[in-house]
Amino acid sequence: MYLDEEDMLPYLLQDPRFQQEVNKEIRRLLPPPSTVPYTYTPLPIEGVVPPYHAPRHDLGEQPQASRSSFLPAIIGLLLLIVVGSVLGQWYSTATRPPIQQARPTPPYTLFGPPSITATFINQVLDRYHSPAVGKGQTLYDLGVKYGIDPVFALAFFMHESSFGTQGEATSTLALGNERCIPDRPCIDQDRGGYAQMYSWEDGFEQWYQLISGPVYKGSGRTTVDTIIPRYAPSADNNDEAAYIAAIKHAVSTWRTGTVIV
Q: What are the φ and ψ backbone dihedral angles of 141, each rounded to 5 degrees?
A: -60, -40
Q: What are the φ and ψ backbone dihedral angles of 117, each rounded to 5 degrees?
A: -100, 165
pLDDT score recorded for residue 92:
57
CA angle centred on 213, ends 246 and 248, rounded to 5°: 15
pLDDT score recorded for residue 35:
59
Per-10-residue mean pLDDT for the chain, 261 residues long?
A: 55 69 70 57 53 48 53 68 63 53 65 97 98 98 98 98 97 96 94 95 98 97 97 95 97 96 90
pLDDT score recorded for residue 100:
46
CA angle centred on 56, ends 52 and 61, rounded to 5°: 120
What's the first-to-final CA gap in the chain, in angstroms?
62
Torsion sign, CA atoms 84, 85, 86, 88: positive
pLDDT score recorded for residue 58:
47
In terms of pTM, does the model score above 0.95?
no
